């Protein structure tokens, strides 16, 4: 569904706490305390690789450490 909508040049704004659901997007924005905190783009990465990057970013947003 996301690919079909992307081909039609449409935008979906989805709010989720699921890294799995978010990993299907082309762009993920992280909001903390009502402010834009972090943003990542999927690019050519697989869904699973992007899911891991989202998980790592969530650790950063929540005050944890991320090994890069």
Residues 16 and 29 sit within 8 Å (Cβ to Cβ)? no
Instruction: Between 23 and 64, name the one with better pLDDT.
Output: 23
pTM: 0.77
- Ordered by start, the domain boundaries in the chain are 13-61
pLDDT in tens, 5-35: 778 888 888 999 899 999 999 999 999 889 9
Higher pLDDT, 3 or 60: 60
Q: What is the mean pLDDT of the chain?
A: 87
Give the percent of the chain with pLDDT over 70. 93
Q: What is the DSSP string of the chain?
A: -HHHHHHTT-------S-HHHHTTSSEEEEEETTEEEEEEE-TT--HHHHHHHHHHHHHHHTT-----
C-beta separation of 19 from 51 below 8 A: yes
Arithmetic mean of pLDDT, 31-48: 93
């Amino acid at each position: 569904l996301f690919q079909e909508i992307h081909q039609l040049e449409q935008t979906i704004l989805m709010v989720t706490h699921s890294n799995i659901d978010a990993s299907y997007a082309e762009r993920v924005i992280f909001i903390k305390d009502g402010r834009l905190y972090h943003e990542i783009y999927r690019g050519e990465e697989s869904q699973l690789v992007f899911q891991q990057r989202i998980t790592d970013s969530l650790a950063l947003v929540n005050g944890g450490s991320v090994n890069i």
